[in-house]
Structure 1
Amino acid sequence: MVPTSLSERMLSRDLLDVLIRAGLIAALVIFCFQIFNPFLDLMLWALILAITLYPLHGVLKSCLGGRSGHAASLIVLVTLMILMVPVYLLATSISESVQQALTIVKGGSFHIPLPGEHVARWPLVGPKLHDFWLQAATDVTSLMEKVLPHLKGVSLNLLGKLTGVSVGFLSFIAALLIAGVIMAYGENGSRSAVQITTRISGPVKGPQIAELCTATIRAVAQGVVGIAFIQMLLVGVGFVVMGIPGAGLLALASLLLGIMQLPMLLVSLPVIGFVFATEGATVATIVFTIYNLIAGLSDNVLKPLLLGRGVDVPMPVILIGALGGMVTNGFIGLFIGPVVLAVGHQLFWQWVKSTPEDVEPRERTKT
């Protein structure tokens, strides 16, 4: 009986030691996560940028005589210069739109025409729309008193969205700077990633998982975000050259549609209709129409070149990742969401497909 009780005591002591160690490790992990959590999105964005731009970094590094730091700094500077163009256009467009609205209001030239009698005969919304339109044309002051409380909430909501976009852009700049540091030490980072995945999944699957994650991040970042950014530049240049009001906002809307995998023609077609309605069928409007249609459909050519590089990511995964990332993490989540969800999708299906291959060799060794 004594050896049994002694062994039970030793077993309980070993179990208690294991539980204490596991508890301490869990407490340390939770504490570290709480400290790192505010920087999680920023570091994810920086890692995605570093992995996406690292092939370009390798080319520049060889051209600069193996100077990794100089190549990373050059990529960061050029990227910032490219980003300043759409940001400048957006800020200029918003400023011009506000100034035009203030000029119209102060000059007293703002006039709403009376509604036609046929508006009241429209089904469902006709009578209410007619009354609202008539009051706006005859007594805009009382109408503003009714609408102003609702406009206040909408304005605050819109201001919050614009603030989120500004914060997201600043976060992107910070992530780009961190990505430059990561690229400068890219070889060490690549070895560390392989070591981590090898420690988790073994020496055979570890390098494969690291390579799969890298390929997925590059494919989605280039084939989704990159294509959307290229299309935004093409469409935005056409809007600016044609003098479209709010060209910067329309270009930003095109970028969001492109990331969410929605047709960019949703923005281009109304703009084309506006141009024909205001300027008529001239040579300039026809050229503008052809240019915008080509720019809006250019993703059909760019996607096979940038997205189809050995990684098949379904469009619903990208759409859900973009929408879910935007809801949970704001503007920056619109970029991070598709990449993270695509990586999870690829890892899941690799695990599903690799299971039968792992079982068969074990059964053969048993027989």
Structure 2
Amino acid sequence: MILTPASQKALSQGLLDVLIRAGLVAVLVIACYQVFHPFLNLMLWSVILAVTLYPLHRRLKPRLGNRDGRTATVLVLICIIVLLVPLYLLGMSLGSSVAHGMEVVRSGSFHIPPPPDSVAGWPLVGERLHGVWQQAATDLTSLAQKFTPQIKAFSLTLLGKATGLGLGLLMFIAALAIAGIVMAYADAGQRSAVKIASRFFGLPKGPKITELCTGTIRAVAQGVVGIAFIQMLLIGVAFVLMDIPGAAVLSMAVLLLGIMQIPATLITVPVIIFVIATRGADVGTIVFSVYVFLAGLADNVLKPLLLGRGVEVPMPVVLIGALGGMVTSGIIGLFIGPVLLAVGYMLFWQWIEDHPAGSLPVEIPNGPEQA
């Protein structure tokens, strides 16, 4: 086909118009992203919390007069109370522990026992550890002055972490409030999500992908955060009943380790050793040790039951997405990673199955005799 000069000019003009429009759209998208970026994590957390809590919203709705706004408000208030009460108890425990420690130091009754002679025989660090321990037992003040820069740096780092934790808590409470608004308009939000997904992936796939994203978020909330919370309750109650020092802090550490998919035995085994070493091996300590050790392994039983439930992709895909997302993007990646991997997995297999007619053989040989 030979184009006339007029046709070539028209084609060039049309291509230039398309490039200009694409450039303007790209500039608009970048500008919108820069404006929305400070609120991105907040809105992602709001959507994740709304999707996770919406089944409870539907159960409470008939009992509260079928009012979406009232139900969402009550549910958000319950979540805030459930969140703040343990944090308040944890803060009170830490505060009392710090106050008691300062009182012991001021009274002069604090004393570090001298190290056993066997410590010096430990490989690599034995002699140095024995010397530092001996100095702490004889002259703690000079040892503290010697390590003042390290203590100051550690204190500043700890203060920064505490500040970040406080800001994260405030953002989480704000996300809960926004999640309540999202749940109050859940029907309209679901229709919008289906329209957006259908526009990107086509009408047959849009609703399925929307359901997949919803199910994956809830499966991760139940299979990761839910199991970690159950483990924290099982182990924390035993720590409190056994009067373990710092039981609240250790229970919170169990929760964080469970969310990060790290075995809780890193906490339970040292506590078991501490209890047996300080209180001896009697019936109470043995029962406590067996119970706490089994509670630390409970995630191995609960995870296969809860993690992949209600999702059309295999459980290992969700688990790998959770772990990879958390490594790359932190806690919020724990939810975003499985969603992305599940959608990619579904689209990949749909692409494999939707091959053009005649591109694959009708029957694939099963053995040499059929080749």
TM-score under structure 2 length normalisation: 0.89
Aligned to 2:165: 165
Aligned to 2:110: 110
Most deviating of 353-362 and 34-43: 353-362
Aligned to 1:59: 59
Give the residue type in structure 2 aligned to 1:359.
H
Give the residue type in structure 2 aligned to 1:273.
I
Shift of 1:363: 4.8
Question: Over the residues paired in the alignment, what is the CA RMSD in angstroms?
Answer: 2.0
**Could you give the per-residue CA deviations for residues 149-194 of structure 1, whole angstroms, max 9, x where no partner exists?**
0111111112212222222221111111111110110011111111
Shift of 1:85: 2.7
Aligned to 1:324: 328
Asked if 1:360 is matched to 2:364, the reply is no
Q: How does 1:135-284 map to 2 (within 5 A)?
A: 135-282=135-282, 284=284
Give the residue type in structure 2 aligned to 1:26.
A
Aligned to 2:337: 341
Shift of 1:123: 1.5
Aligned to 2:346: 350
Aligned to 2:98: 98
Aligned to 1:331: none
Give the residue type in structure 2 aligned to 1:134.
Q
**Could you give the per-residue CA deviations for residues 223-251 of structure 1, whole angstroms, max 9, x where no partner exists?**
11121122223322332333322222212
CA contact (8 A) 1:86 1:233 kept: no
CA gap of 1:49–1:362, structure 2 versus 1, over 3 A, is farther
Q: Distance in 2 between matches of 1:171 and 1:76?
A: 14
CA gap of 1:361–1:187, structure 2 versus 1, over 3 A, is farther
CA contact (8 A) 2:320 2:338 kept: no
Give structure 2 stretches of 5+ with no counterpart.
Answer: 361-371
CA contact (8 A) 1:313 1:342 kept: no
Shift of 1:87: 0.6
> What secondary structure is seen at the aligned counterpart in 2 of 1:360?
coil
CA contact (8 A) 2:50 2:179 kept: yes
Q: How does 1:285-296 map to 2 (within 5 A)?
A: 285-296=285-296
Shift of 1:270: 1.6
Question: Greater RCO between the two (CA within 8 Å, min separation 6)?
Answer: 1
Shift of 1:355: 1.6
CA contact (8 A) 2:216 2:339 kept: yes
Asked if 1:49 is matched to 2:49, the reply is yes
Q: Distance in 2 between matches of 1:323 and 1:252?
A: 20
Q: Distance in 2 between matches of 1:169 and 1:233?
A: 21
Give the residue type in structure 2 aligned to 1:68.
D
**Could you give the per-residue CA deviations for residues 282-309 of structure 1, whole angstroms, max 9, x where no partner exists?**
5544453344334323324432442231
CA contact (8 A) 1:232 1:251 kept: yes
TM-score under structure 1 length normalisation: 0.90
Q: Distance in 1 between matches of 2:304 and 2:65?
A: 33
Q: Distance in 1 between matches of 2:225 and 2:116?
A: 46
Give the residue type in structure 1 aligned to 2:329.
G
Shift of 1:129: 1.3
Shift of 1:146: 1.6
> What secondary structure is seen at the aligned counterpart in 1 of 2:124?
coil
CA contact (8 A) 1:92 1:248 kept: no
Aligned to 1:84: 84
Give structure 1 stretches of 5+ with no counterpart.
Answer: 327-333
Most deviating of 22-31 and 298-307: 298-307
CA gap of 1:181–1:188, structure 2 versus 1, over 3 A, is same
CA gap of 1:39–1:160, structure 2 versus 1, over 3 A, is same
Q: Distance in 2 between matches of 1:76 and 1:216?
A: 22
Q: Distance in 2 between matches of 1:74 and 1:238?
A: 31
> What secondary structure is seen at the aligned counterpart in 2 of 1:112?
coil
Q: Distance in 2 between matches of 1:159 and 1:339?
A: 28
Most deviating of 296-305 and 206-215: 296-305
Q: Distance in 2 between matches of 1:363 and 1:143?
A: 77
**Could you give the per-residue CA deviations for residues 305-343 of structure 1, whole angstroms, max 9, x where no partner exists?**
4223143343343223223333xxxxxxx2x11111111
Q: Distance in 2 between matches of 1:172 and 1:237?
A: 26
Most deviating of 165-174 and 282-291: 282-291
Q: Distance in 2 between matches of 1:82 and 1:46?
A: 17
Aligned to 1:10: 10
Shift of 1:84: 2.1
Q: Distance in 2 between matches of 1:89 and 1:237?
A: 14
CA contact (8 A) 2:321 2:339 kept: no
Give the residue type in structure 2 aligned to 1:59.
R
CA contact (8 A) 1:254 1:264 kept: yes
Q: Distance in 2 between matches of 1:287 and 1:85?
A: 29
Q: Distance in 1 between matches of 2:291 and 2:163?
A: 33
Give the residue type in structure 2 aligned to 1:343.
V
Aligned to 1:34: 34
